[in-house]
Chain A
Amino acid sequence: MVNLLINDTPISVPAGTTVLDAAKKLKINIPTLCNHPDLCVAGNCRVCVVEQKGARTLIAACAMPVSEGMDIHTNTLKVRNARKHIVELLLSEHRADCTKCYKNQNCELQSLANEFAFGEHVFLDLVEDHNYSIDRSSPSFIKDDSKCIRCQRCVRTCSELQFISAIAVSKKGAHQKISSFHNRPMSHVVCTNCGQCVNRCPTGALVEKTYIDQVWDAIYDPDKHVVVQTAPAVRVALGEDLGYDPGQRVTGKMVTALRQLGFNSILDTDFTADLTIMEEGTELLTRLKKALVDGDKGQALPMFTSCSPGWIKFIEHKFPEFLPNLSTCKSPQQMFGALSKTFYAQKRKLDPSKIISVSIMPCTAKKYEADRPEMRSSGFKDVDFVLTTRELAVMIKQAGIDFRNLEESHYDSVMGDSTGAAVIFGATGGVMEAALRTAYEIVTGREVPFGNLNITPVRGMDGVKEATIKIEGCLPDWKFLEGAELKVAIAHGLVNANKIMRMVRAGTAPYHFVEIMACPGGCIGGGGQPIPTNMEIRKNRMKAIYSEDEHMVLRKSHENPEVVAIYKEFLEQPNSHKSHELLHTHYVVRETY
């Protein structure tokens, strides 16, 4: 343990602790900007400078490890003056058109300006000296350099968490900027649109491309029937943007709010998550059968999940030789979109051209996914508009809804029923767990051999998780799997996906089935989720997801009555011709530059 003084209060902390964290323990708040708990220390914004007695200069609290006998002061005149200067310097390079900015009132720079830089500013406005540009090329987000304060959180996110480095620092001095490869448009570089950078940007330099106005227009158009689907991870995070602590489930209130916003039908992506399990589970079993019984060496194994559009774009760019290993299933969002303009339209006797299909997603890559040319199998754009969790919160605020005091209500039908297996899609390992609950039962006729159906080895926040399930007592149709050990792996965050893919490329991955989610923690940590998102918050959301599962009456996808019905009435059976037409897709080899 190391002993030091902070503002004359003694404290003892383990060696290696930063001054910032030591101060936190004393409930002393040191402002920060470039610092983010998910990322390595940068120490470049300098907002966290504090005074260390005897030191020649101020020190950056986020980057300085404690040492024995340190005497730290966080609030001296010297510190205050320096911080004021630093915040003003940042503002002098920043286009501060706050009232027009999407991040107004959710901006870390703005908060610091409130604390340190109100009133007249000393320094010259440098905004016009910089040749700032705005990149709107991505369907998922906007990169506005005039709002950028060069904290490099986005750069660190993209390299450390996602192993992409779609954006990096270029040039130096006054010309330094966060740039894409060769300054190409973001739509034309290796970017997965995951939005993790958007989630970590402290200002409005990286924001999702918002479609709120288009959705309002559709809602108010009497000619249109607007259906909305909500992804599993939204219900455990939306509350954070509406005044709740992280980890609160607000499913029922969210449904009521959507109804009050004027959507014609409030439906659930969880329904198509259950459907995904039927389709993907069948696909896996078929591949295994072809490989094991028919001796077909051409079967691409391990099979990879395909729910995460960020992951899809990652593999298309970086490991295109393994595209055959991807499940051909569309993501639940896109299955839903296709069905909303076919099955749903038929059931409700609606003209599909009059249906506007909106989805609420924890994700920015979903905006991109909905725009993919493959996603028009209904004959229309399957999903018209994708809103993030944050955008939904904005709409709820715009409508003046008193969210906290809303009654809870249920999803509409059809395509509103779901099971606990679908809810857990929102957390890393969830798709795997849902798939195992169903596949094991199809093969053996019995429930998975885990207490209360909770397959704990596939849960948790480890970057790469592995599990082996021994299959015993198979039903006659599946005798060829008797005694087989099903090996599965789960990765979340593309840096971990890359680890697994390297093993696959090297031929050292012993798996049959691999679940990959682009974002840390899975969809609960998606780029479209409330800001801030960090490990602690992800864990709270994850807990809420599993508690939602436990509270469901039905917890296995194949038991969803609407899923059973849709096969009977419309799709015939999993992987049928009709399923393939509407619910499956293909992938594209993309360049790495």
Chain B
Amino acid sequence: MESNKGLTKVDLIFEKVDAREALTKAFKMTNDEIIQQILESGLKGRGGAGFPTGLKWKYTAAEKEPVKYIVCNADEGEPGTFKDREILDRVAYKVYGGMAIAGKAINAKEGIVYLRGEYRFLLPKLMKELETFHKMIGEIGFDFRIKYCLGSGAYICGEESALFESIQGERGEPRNKPPYPTTSGVYGKPTSINNVETLVTAMMIIQHGAKRYTQLGTKDSRGSKVFSVSGDTPTPGIFELELGMSVQNFVTEFGDGDTKAVQVGGASGFCVPRKKFNETIIGFEGVPTGGSMKLFNSSRSMYNVLHNYLDFFAEESCGQCTPCRVGCQQLLKGVEKVKKGEAKSTYLNELTKLADTMKIASKCGLGQSVGNAFKSIVENFREEIIY
């Protein structure tokens, strides 16, 4: 592991750029050159799962289908993230720019932004900016159109294949994989689906070059990332930080002096307790995050925190697969029983085994990651769950 980088604020995502200039530059590049730049940058998906963006584009580009899609995942539903809203609000033209560049890279002529239903209030402004954008890329020579599709409030629709189903007007339930989106995505066509922030980052990489980008971050976690900071902090909000800092660096900057735990990556992420602040790197070599950073001070009951997450998952599981649908209910009711003293504390061990089963047997990422919060909270705050 590289030594931690300390905390450095970066201004890349919200940096004002001349979109016309950036896109004109991209338009003159070949598909392969674009993909090569993104591959070299080491950019990984900013939604949380961290799949290398360049590879995703490369696979989709390799598909022979005449019709392909770029989908922008703006269904920002992870508890504690609100960065995509901010990005769309402030620099939507860069999201569109990233989509157009991705479209050129994979040879797609159509982009779809799947916008979280709760962000509907942004739509009039976004549409206006889209109109301007369409006009501009038309002048440059891009053959690319973007349209919007609104979600209706289901967390699961942020999962890529459930999102496709939702766009297609079906019930938002994850599909079996393979086939992966790069071969069969929305409407069964090869699709590159990227997070809002990923697309903006990709545009900035094309603008500044991969080399400059790789100077930021660590070997496994290149670049910077927008964090949504919330919880017990005097300075909640959106911050773009270089990757590679430790949780301790983060807490020093954002904590209130009494931070006992940080939930990194939202409900589906990991809980880092105070004793592990120093050794835990925020990034793919430590705890990955889609941006959600929630700080808890000593006034908080970690039982309540866990209960809240489990309640959320029991509600937001799509319900199709057994481990997730029933497992979430069992974890929730199980910790309630333990808390009330109606089940022995050792029952937590059985629930931990269940969390392990959910991790390996659930159909999609939702069920597979319920165990992250459960295990990291139960492991580190066991006494708070029991007493």
Chain A residues proximal to chain B, CB less than 8 Å: 41-47, 49, 56-58, 60, 63-65, 78, 81-82, 85-86, 89-90, 92-93, 122-124, 126, 129, 149-150, 152, 168-169, 171-176
B350 engages A122 (CB within 8 Å): yes
A86 engages B316 (CB within 8 Å): no
Q: Could you list 27 examples of A-B contacts with CB < 8 Å?
A: A43-B176, A45-B322, A46-B323, A46-B363, A57-B360, A57-B362, A60-B176, A81-B353, A81-B357, A85-B353, A85-B357, A86-B322, A86-B323, A86-B357, A90-B326, A124-B334, A150-B322, A172-B156, A173-B313, A173-B325, A173-B328, A174-B325, A174-B329, A176-B317, A176-B318, A176-B320, A176-B325
Complex CA gap A44/B367 in Å reads 12
B330 engages A82 (CB within 8 Å): no
Known contacts A46-B363, A86-B322, A86-B361: A173-B314 contact under CB 8 Å? yes
Chain B residues proximal to chain A, CB less than 8 Å: 154, 156, 171, 173, 176, 178, 313-323, 325-330, 333-334, 337, 350, 353-354, 357, 359-363, 368
Complex CA gap A172/B337 in Å reads 24
Chain B residues within an 8 Å CB radius of A46: 321-323, 361-363
Complex CA gap A264/B214 in Å reads 90
B354 engages A85 (CB within 8 Å): yes
A181 to chain B, nearest CB (A): 14
Interface centre among B176, B334, B361 (most CB of A within 10 A): B361
Contact of B320 among A47, A49, A93, A152 (CB under 8 A): A152
7 extra A-B contacts, CB within 8 A, seeds A49-B360, A92-B330:
A44-B363, A46-B361, A85-B353, A85-B354, A86-B322, A123-B334, A173-B313
- For the complex of A and B, the 3 pairs showing the least CB-CB separation, nearest first, are A176-B319, A89-B326, A63-B176
Complex CA gap A86/B361 in Å reads 9
Q: Which residue of chain B is the closest to A83 with respect to CB atoms? A: B361
Contact of A92 among B314, B326, B350, B362 (CB under 8 A): B326
Known contacts A44-B363, A46-B362, A65-B178: A172-B318 contact under CB 8 Å? yes
Chain B residues within an 8 Å CB radius of A93: 326, 329
Contact of A169 among B171, B316, B361, B368 (CB under 8 A): B171
A87 to chain B, nearest CB (A): 9
Known contacts A172-B315, A173-B314, A173-B328: A49-B361 contact under CB 8 Å? yes
A58 engages B361 (CB within 8 Å): yes
Interface centre among A63, A65, A124, A176 (most CB of B within 10 A): A124
Contact of A174 among B314, B359, B362 (CB under 8 A): B314
Chain B residues within an 8 Å CB radius of A64: 176, 178
Contact of B317 among A49, A60, A65, A173 (CB under 8 A): A173
Chain B residues within an 8 Å CB radius of A45: 321-322
A56 to chain B, nearest CB (A): 8
Contact of B321 among A44, A124, A126, A172 (CB under 8 A): A44
A124 engages B333 (CB within 8 Å): yes
Complex CA gap A45/B326 in Å reads 11
Contact of B319 among A58, A60, A63, A174 (CB under 8 A): A174
A230 to chain B, nearest CB (A): 41
B286 to chain A, nearest CB (A): 18
B318 engages A126 (CB within 8 Å): no
Chain A residues within an 8 Å CB radius of B323: 46, 82, 85-86, 89
Complex CA gap A292/B330 in Å reads 70
A34 to chain B, nearest CB (A): 9
A82 engages B315 (CB within 8 Å): no
B118 to chain A, nearest CB (A): 17
Chain A residues within an 8 Å CB radius of B318: 172-173, 176
Q: Which residue of chain B is the closest to A176 with respect to CB atoms? A: B319
Chain B residues within an 8 Å CB radius of A43: 176, 321, 363
Known contacts A65-B178, A85-B357, A123-B330: A90-B322 contact under CB 8 Å? yes
Known contacts A43-B363, A124-B334, A126-B326: A169-B176 contact under CB 8 Å? no
Complex CA gap A365/B360 in Å reads 43
Give the interface SS of chain B, mostly helix, strand, loop or mixed: helix
Chain B residues within an 8 Å CB radius of A149: 322
Complex CA gap A47/B319 in Å reads 15
B322 engages A82 (CB within 8 Å): no
Chain B residues within an 8 Å CB radius of A60: 176, 363
Chain B residues within an 8 Å CB radius of A176: 317-320, 325
Chain B residues within an 8 Å CB radius of A49: 360-361
Contact of B315 among A168, A169, A173 (CB under 8 A): A173
Contact of A82 among B156, B314, B329, B360 (CB under 8 A): B360
Complex CA gap A384/B156 in Å reads 50
Complex CA gap A56/B368 in Å reads 10
A169 engages B325 (CB within 8 Å): no
Complex CA gap A56/B360 in Å reads 7
A41 engages B361 (CB within 8 Å): no
A172 engages B353 (CB within 8 Å): no
B200 to chain A, nearest CB (A): 29
B334 engages A57 (CB within 8 Å): no
Q: Which residue of chain B is the closest to A90 with respect to CB atoms? A: B322
Chain A residues within an 8 Å CB radius of B357: 81-82, 85-86
A44 engages B329 (CB within 8 Å): no
Complex CA gap A30/B339 in Å reads 38
B329 engages A57 (CB within 8 Å): no
Complex CA gap A171/B313 in Å reads 14
Complex CA gap A86/B176 in Å reads 18
A44 engages B333 (CB within 8 Å): no
B180 to chain A, nearest CB (A): 12
Chain A residues within an 8 Å CB radius of B361: 46, 49, 57-58, 82, 85-86
Complex CA gap A246/B245 in Å reads 67
Complex CA gap A51/B223 in Å reads 36
A120 to chain B, nearest CB (A): 11
Complex CA gap A215/B102 in Å reads 70
Complex CA gap A242/B360 in Å reads 41
Chain B residues within an 8 Å CB radius of A89: 322-323, 326-327, 330
Complex CA gap A129/B329 in Å reads 10
Complex CA gap A126/B321 in Å reads 16
Chain A residues within an 8 Å CB radius of B360: 49, 56-58, 78, 82
Known contacts A49-B361, A57-B368, A82-B360: A172-B319 contact under CB 8 Å? yes
Chain A residues within an 8 Å CB radius of B314: 173-174
Chain A residues within an 8 Å CB radius of B319: 150, 169, 171-176
B329 engages A172 (CB within 8 Å): no
B42 to chain A, nearest CB (A): 21
Complex CA gap A122/B353 in Å reads 11
Complex CA gap A160/B357 in Å reads 32
Q: Which residue of chain B is the closest to A49 with respect to CB atoms? A: B361
Interface centre among B154, B322, B362 (most CB of A within 10 A): B322
Chain A residues within an 8 Å CB radius of B353: 81, 85
Complex CA gap A65/B177 in Å reads 9
Chain B residues within an 8 Å CB radius of A44: 320-322, 363
A464 to chain B, nearest CB (A): 25
Chain B residues within an 8 Å CB radius of A150: 319-320, 322, 325
Complex CA gap A150/B323 in Å reads 12
Chain A residues within an 8 Å CB radius of B316: 172-173
Chain A residues within an 8 Å CB radius of B333: 124, 126, 129
Q: Which residue of chain A is the closest to B317 with respect to CB atoms? A: A173
Complex CA gap A57/B176 in Å reads 13
Chain A residues within an 8 Å CB radius of B317: 172-174, 176
Chain A residues within an 8 Å CB radius of B320: 42, 44, 150, 152, 169, 176
Chain B residues within an 8 Å CB radius of A42: 320
Q: Which residue of chain B is the closest to A130 with respect to CB atoms? A: B329
Q: Which residue of chain B is the closest to A45 with respect to CB atoms? A: B322
Chain B residues within an 8 Å CB radius of A41: 176
